[in-house]
Structure 1
Amino acid sequence: MELSEEIPITIQYKFVTANYIANILNLDVPLCQLPSRGALSDGQYFAAATPGQVGFRLFETKGDYITSVMNSVTHGPYMQLCLAIFKGVPVGSLKSFPRLALIGAQPEEIIHALDTKLPHLKFVNKGNLGSLICRRHEREYQ
């Protein structure tokens, strides 16, 4: 869960309460039983932002949600392994990440969202490896 990471200012969201999310989802459950993330019928996306799901980040666009997820997972073990071995992460593999699969994120949506919202990352085409997400400061993969 993306609770404590710093969110770049390029990602647009507002902080809302769990009650707000419960009302929109028309759920009458204890707050700890709310889904921790998902899509709303109006095209907005949400993700828990505090322990116990008291507060949520509400993203106006799918792109903002995608970049928030990517901002938090770039420090995960899979990403770190790919960055160490290949100097990048295959874009195609990202759509199976649970938080991205939940909203049906496609590789082209991931590329567009990251390209416009996370300037510390770049995309490199590596032939049979496909498109990789790399740190902008990384030396080119040989």
Structure 2
Amino acid sequence: MRPSQSYLPAIRAAAGFALAPMVGVAGFGLISEGYRFIEDLLIGRSTIVSIIVIVAYVQAALLGLPAYFLLKDRVRPTILNAALAGIIVASLPWVTLSVGSFQLTASIQVITHTALAGLLAGIAFWICAAWRNSNFDFQVED
């Protein structure tokens, strides 16, 4: 029995939304030198990593899903478009929070780190959702 290919884009997009935030969090950890800037906090690293994971999935749900549904029929799914969308989804909340901040250098550093993590997450989403979209063959041999 041959599975319907109409479900394939939805499954691939769901996989992209499941994987991309984790890639972004891992990239953020590498970019931020293992969360070096939070070592002075009273909470442990596992707690802060958990918070960052939750924030990443909330950002993907609140900003990434609407962006996906608004852009999926209007813009070609290229790696550049996915990377730019990832940058915007990751850094928009931090840009908003840092408006009027007195610590401009720290704000720019956090925004840069989140933008680079968003770049990685956008590329991961593109790999899951759009790469080689038409080259799948569900031929089942008897």
Tell me which protein shows more strand as a share of its residues.
1
Q: TM-score of the superposition, structure 1-length normalised?
A: 0.33
Tell me which protein shows more helix as a share of its residues.
2
**Which has the bigger relative contact order, CA under 8 A and spacing at least 6?**
2
Q: TM-score of the superposition, structure 2-length normalised?
A: 0.33
Bigger radius of gyration: 2
